[in-house]
């Protein structure tokens, strides 16, 4: 079992850290908010006053932060990489641009630490249930060494390559589909409303037909609520579809559906609703259609 420094105890990170605790790892958490650190301690973990303090006694420094800029801030500006014992492993599970992940990995390795690119998919529900998909890129030896930690977090592990950035690349493709499927569900349910079909009935039928998607069944019911619980915010997809389009620009690939879907998340955020549940991208459609 490993000593894990877990940075970023948000909607995804908190249940991931709790699962690591349950599977026997020692977890020291750090977050900018005190509340999740107290919850981690109550569950048997430890908390510290900084990411660097957490890293200083860890085998594995796990980063479930919002983006690559936060990962850099923690590792380089915040001193966590220097604090991590030599040979320690930086495990980056946040969704970041593949090129950025490769660059961070190079800087980590230049300082004598090791790096694992391991983004996850499955949302907060998957994080809680321990059924996340993990797309892991690192050497075979490091993968084997880290398997107990990876299994402590995820339900479905995929060793997708040896090079940092290969996990991030699959995650980008994953987010393309997730973002487009949420917007498509909104477009469909808004059309149902506009043509006089009961959207709840439509959702019941579509959710069990060839029209179904994981997102339709997960986000669809919340699209029918005016102020649903926030399980993942609009601004997360503003960011993630932004990463998708950035990867498309980098590779010179046309992504017209992803670009269109992005506009709806952007406009929802631009109306001041970026912290609403991402199902509320349907508001943009209702506004357009006068529903």
Q: What is the binding site for a second copy (CB under 8 A)?
A: 98, 121-123, 126, 133, 135, 156, 158, 160, 166, 169-170, 172-178, 180-181, 183-185, 187-192, 194-197, 201-202, 204-206, 208-216, 218, 244, 247-248, 250-258, 260-261, 263, 285, 288-289
Residue closer to a second copy (CB basis): 44 or 208: 208
Residue closer to a second copy (CB basis): 31 or 187: 187
Residue closer to a second copy (CB basis): 106 or 211: 211
Q: Which residues contact 143 (CB under 8 A, 6 or more apart)?
A: 116, 136, 150, 159
CA angle 31, 35, 41 (to 5 degrees): 80
Active-site residue (options: 3, 111, 156, 171) = 171
The question of whether 111 is a catalytic residue gets the answer: no
Least CB distance from residue 35 to a second copy, whole Å? 26
Residues 241 and 220: their CA atoms lie apart, in Å, by 19
Residue closer to a second copy (CB basis): 29 or 154: 154
> CB of 232 within 8 A of CB of 11?
yes
Least CB distance from residue 291 to a second copy, whole Å? 9
Closest CA to 237 of 181, 185, 189: 181
> CB of 51 within 8 A of CB of 30?
yes
Least CB distance from residue 255 to a second copy, whole Å? 6
> CB of 15 within 8 A of CB of 39?
no
Catalogue the long-range contacts made by 168-173 (C-beta closer than 8 Å, 24 or more residues apart): 168/95, 168/96, 168/97, 168/98, 168/100, 168/101, 168/117, 168/119, 168/137, 169/98, 169/247, 170/119, 170/135, 171/95, 171/119, 171/121, 171/135, 172/95, 172/97, 172/98, 172/243, 172/244, 172/247
Least CB distance from residue 171 to a second copy, whole Å? 9
Least CB distance from residue 74 to a second copy, whole Å? 26
Q: Residue 90 is inside which H or E element, if any?
A: strand 89-92
> CB of 239 within 8 A of CB of 269?
no
Length of the chain: 291
Residue closer to a second copy (CB basis): 55 or 244: 244
Least CB distance from residue 289 to a second copy, whole Å? 5
Residue closer to a second copy (CB basis): 28 or 174: 174
Cite the active site residues: 171
């Amino acid at each position: 079992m490993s000593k894990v420094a877990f940075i970023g105890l948000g909607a995804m990170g908190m249940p991931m850290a709790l699962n690591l605790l349950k599977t026997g790892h020692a977890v020291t958490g750090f977050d900018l908010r005190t509340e999740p650190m107290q919850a981690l301690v109550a569950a048997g973990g430890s908390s510290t006053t900084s990411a660097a303090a957490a890293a200083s006694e860890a085998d594995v420094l796990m980063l479930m932060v919002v983006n690559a800029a936060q990962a850099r801030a923690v590792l380089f500006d915040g001193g966590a990489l220097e604090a991590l014992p030599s040979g320690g492993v930086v495990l980056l599970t946040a969704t970041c641009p593949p090129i950025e992940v490769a660059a961070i990995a190079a800087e980590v390795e230049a300082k004598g630490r090791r790096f694992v690119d391991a983004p996850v998919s499955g949302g907060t529900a998957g994080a809680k249930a321990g059924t996340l998909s993990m797309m892991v890129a690192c050497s075979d030896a490091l993968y084997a060494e880290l398997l107990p930690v990876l299994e402590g977090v995820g339900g479905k592990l995929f060793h997708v390559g040896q090079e940092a950035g290969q996990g991030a690349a699959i995650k980008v493709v994953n987010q393309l589909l997730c973002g487009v499927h949420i917007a498509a569900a909104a477009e469909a349910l808004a059309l149902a409303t506009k043509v006089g079909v009961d959207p709840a009935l439509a959702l019941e039928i579509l959710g069990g037909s060839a029209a179904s998607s994981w997102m339709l069944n997960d986000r669809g019911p919340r699209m029918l609520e005016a102020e649903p619980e926030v399980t993942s915010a609009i601004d997360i997809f503003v960011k993630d579809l932004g990463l998708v389009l950035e990867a498309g620009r980098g590779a010179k690939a046309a992504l017209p559906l992803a670009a269109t879907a992005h506009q709806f998340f952007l406009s929802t955020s631009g109306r001041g609703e970026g912290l609403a549940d991402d199902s509320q991208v349907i508001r943009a459609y209702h506004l357009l259609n006068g529903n």
